[in-house]
Structure 1
Amino acid sequence: MKYENTDKETLIKILIQKDNILKKLYLEKEKLSYYANTDVMTGVLNRRAGLEVLSDEFYSSKSNGKNIVVCFVDVDRLKIVNDTFGHEEGDNLLINVTNILKESIRKTDFIIRMGGDEFLIVFPKTTMKEVNNIWHKICKKVDGFNENNTTYNLSLSYGFYEYKQEIKKKMSINDLIKEADAEMYKNKLKKDEF
């Protein structure tokens, strides 16, 4: 009888150890997945992972008939901030930009760091009217940042593209991004004219 209790206790200990090992492995897998899909500095999706999610949303939009809006965002004068105040301050600027964007978008929206000073915000199942309200919030937060920052002014160039179901032409993800990028470039040129 005593022998049976010892066997049960040993078995329980082994099962608890196995459970603890599985929990640790799961947490490590989650951590690896996070680092594989996330831009470490800004905490938003990296380009590879973000484009995969965008692809899923884009094809979902095509099949369910819902609009999708993408916004290409460029942080103006990041190079000047890096050259004048150092790369650490440039990194802080990018972090502040992503925080402003993350605080302003909806839970269903997501941000992709395309590289350097360029981001793509994806607004699934929405219209430009709704996105304009969100962008207004972003502009207010940028203004607030600039009021509290005496070192330099934060400025964003941006361009939107709305994929509507009525658009019957074939579009790819790259076409979607190129359209938003072209709109951003027009916006940037207008700023440079002043």
Structure 2
Amino acid sequence: MTAFPSSHPAGLLRPALGLALVTLLVAGLGYALLATGLGRVLFPAQAQGSLLERDGRIVGSALVGQPFAGARWFVPRPSAAGYDPMAMAGSNLSRGNPALRAEIAAARQAIAAREGVAAVDVPDELITRSGSGIDPHIGPAAARVQVARVAAARGLDPARVQALVDAHTQGPTFGLFGAARVNVLSLNLALDAQSQGDGAQ
């Protein structure tokens, strides 16, 4: 007579617990360790947060926008989250909201005055908040409109500053996805390095 495993709950408990333990170790711990290890080997900078350094000190991440104050700096998109990665958010105001329209109009005039350009020449991304609130990039047009101000504040030839912008402009990913962009923190660090080099001469 053929013997069949007991269908009593106590007889099923051991294999069920064994399967749960193996699944937890393989899918939970093993996969996480493998993915983390491969990430550190294949993409070491990205695995550490794409951190940027100046004089041996970490000053930020290429993935997280941060505010810059003063005429010497390129500024990023405005943030509804205060550039706080722990409070990522957009403005949550609809495009038809009168308060948002008034805010955008005021910001456009203020930026036009700051950059010395006509209001119609202010790129929209300099007056609208990104969805995440920590977008580290601006488009080439938003960087270009700031070149004259930054160059004057640093006593540099505008052509040299524009050359830095061009050098830090990334094209669409794989040439297909997204748009051309400039990482604001990287650009400002390059400006500092150039200014220090000029001062040392």
Q: TM-score when scaled to structure 1?
A: 0.30
Larger helix percent? 1
Q: RCO greater where, 1 or 2, for CA within 8 Å and sep 6 or more?
A: 1
Larger strand percent? 1
